[in-house]
Amino acid sequence: MNMPSTLFDKIWERHVVNRRTDYPDLLYIDRHFIHEVTSPQAFDGLRKRGLPVARIEQTIATADHNVPTKNQHLPIAEKLSRFQVETLRENCKAFGLPLHDLGSEKQGIVHVIGPEQGWTLPGMTIVCGDSHTSTHGALGTIAFGIGTSQVEQVLATQAILQYKPKTMRINIDGVLAKGVLSKDIILYIISQITTSGGTGYFVEYAGSAIRALSMEARMTICNMSIEMGARGGIIAPDETTFEYVKGRTFAPKGENWEKSVADWATLKTDNNAVFDQEHHFKAEDIEPWITYGTNPGMGIGVTQNIPELALNHTAKDMNKSLTYMGLEPQQALLGKKIDYVFIGSCTNSRIEDLRLVADIVKGKQKAKAVEVWIVPGSKKVEAQAIEEGLDKVFEAAGFDLRQPGCSACLGMNEDKIPKGKYCVSTSNRNFEGRQGPGSRTFLASPFTAAIAAITGTIEDARTYVG
């Protein structure tokens, strides 16, 4: 009998092309997503070597990081951004790659369009020059972010050199309170594991609270695996996964579907498989979670006070962080006035997120002093929101519904939070200057963000959602 193995091991071993002692494994890649920011230097590399793209049909290109979220039908106003997107167009044309360009119905944030189009399927290996590639692990894939040199490797060979990471399992059992979302689960986990505790590991999320989540809610969890240092996160495929994938544009059909599901159903960790590290958390311990500092590990329950010292931080680092944020140890965040709300990013910009927000704001008005940006993750999400009339709800509330892209998550385009302003954001990083120079970010769930938009303050979502 074979040794019991983990889900991660099973998928990894299926993709090893070559193994040599002390050397990294050569791993075959099923899907490669590329975008305008981390690909131009890789294409230049191919040109210098005189190499083609090895597997065009396995490479998906879109523009998302550096695109405006207004007037996408017009040429991009900002010169450098326009040049970068035009460079992607030229590279795709020169190398024969289809591009899901601005305005096309399949355009959107890479980690949103992959699953929604059925490009992301259980059991795959997936890479992209973006650290949030971990998102795709929600469908039971090994998916991780890579640098541009590796983008070039994968374009050239459809394979990548990787040392096999260690494995960690994080179990969340129990039932979440009303008003607590998967975003709260992952912010809670990161505050326990810290921003470096997952480094060197690939994380499997398991337990009854994970099983109970929808596919899109699971994506939010896997998305932020990188924020604890882990290369990726994975959730074993189950009926929820198959139901989600079924009928998607690029999902297998007919007889192939049946065969695929039969195979995918075997993708789970064996009983008695051993992880290098294992953690257990209770869903009942998780309240709406929010960050107060300048990395995603600096988070607290929304009713708690800012600690004197965050786990694994020195007093000097803590002080630097709180000074930047304009906050004090022992201060409460409940009732804290905020200036901006950003609902978007590969973490929380899917149709379910927009529905959750609409449920809260329906028939209400945003707080006067607050500016609210809502940026759908893809053209498909945007179209669906309009079909369901969510756009009307947002418009009536005074929200600014924009066009798909990464937007104020990283402030590469003009969507920046001004210096010193507080933003409740559904995105994934609260680093200094991340949302614009001097911006101050509170990472939170779509519920917490929607309520902040209405009240202008940080509130406990449990008291608003019943």
Partner 1 sequence: MKEIKSTCIPLQIANIDTDQVIPARFLKATTREGFGDNLFRDWRYLPGDVPNPDFVLNNSTYSGSVLVAGKNFGCGSSREHAAWALADYGFNIVISSFFADIFKGNALNNGILPIQVSDEILATLFEKIDQNPATEIFVDLPNETLEILGTDIKISFKINAYKKECLLNGYDDIDYILSMTDKIKAFVLS
The answer to the question of residue 196 lying near partner 1 (CB under 8 A) is yes
Task: Report the distance separating Cα 379 and Cα 383, nearest Å.
Answer: 6
The answer to the question of residue 57 lying near partner 1 (CB under 8 A) is no
The answer to the question of residue 4 lying near partner 1 (CB under 8 A) is no
- Strand 289-291 relative to strand 277-282, pairing: unpaired
Question: According to CB under 8 A, which residues from 207 to 266 bind partner 1?
Answer: 226-227, 229, 231
Q: How far is the CB of 41 from partner 1 (least distance, A)?
A: 5
- Tokens 């607590």 locate to 180
Residue with smaller CB distance to partner 1, 72 or 295: 295
The answer to the question of residue 199 lying near partner 1 (CB under 8 A) is yes
The answer to the question of residue 441 lying near partner 1 (CB under 8 A) is no
The one among 7, 11, 109, 159 contacting partner 1 by CB under 8 A: 159
Q: Which stretch binds partner 1 (CB under 8 A): 161-169, 242-250, 374-382, 394-402?
A: 161-169
Burial class (CB in 10 A: 0-12, 13-18, 19+), 341: buried
Q: How far is the CB of 268 from partner 1 (least distance, A)?
A: 24
Burial 291-319 (b: 16+ CB within 10 A, else e): bbbbbbbbbbbbeeebeeebeebeeebbe
Instruction: Find how far residue 33's CA is from the centre of its chain.
Output: 14
Task: Report the distance separating Cα 175 and Cα 387, nearest Å.
Answer: 32
Instruction: Please say whether the dihedral angle defined by the alpha carbons of residues 182, 177, 360 and 351, taken in this order, is positive or negative.
Output: positive
Distances (CA, A) of 287 to 47, 106, 134, 171, 352: 52, 36, 24, 17, 20
The one among 157, 171, 192, 304 contacting partner 1 by CB under 8 A: 157
Among the listed residues 164, 166, 145, 136, the one whose alpha carbon sits nearest the alpha carbon of residue 234:
136
Instruction: Please say whether the dihedral angle defined by the alpha carbons of residues 345, 349, 354 and 356, taken in this order, is positive or negative.
Output: negative
Do the Cβ atoms of 176 and 286 come closer than 8 Å?
yes
Residue with smaller CB distance to partner 1, 279 or 320: 320
Q: Which amino acid is at 151?
A: V
The one among 131, 191, 240, 426 contacting partner 1 by CB under 8 A: 131
Task: Report the distance separating Cα 126 and Cα 31, nearest Å.
Answer: 5
Q: Which stretch binds partner 1 (CB under 8 A): 38-46, 101-109, 254-262, 368-376?
A: 38-46
The one among 24, 96, 326, 335 contacting partner 1 by CB under 8 A: 24
Q: How far is the CB of 262 from partner 1 (least distance, A)?
A: 20
Q: How far is the CB of 324 from partner 1 (least distance, A)?
A: 10
Q: How far is the CB of 46 from partner 1 (least distance, A)?
A: 9
Residue with smaller CB distance to partner 1, 187 or 209: 187
The answer to the question of residue 32 lying near partner 1 (CB under 8 A) is no
Q: How far is the CB of 303 from partner 1 (least distance, A)?
A: 26
- Tokens 């994975």 locate to 234
Chain residues binding partner 1 by CB under 8 A are 17-18, 22-24, 26, 28, 37-38, 40-41, 44-45, 49, 51, 65-66, 80-81, 83-84, 87, 129-131, 145-150, 152-153, 156-159, 161, 163, 165, 195-196, 199-200, 226-227, 229, 231, 295, 313-314, 316-317, 320, 410-412, 429, 431-434, 437
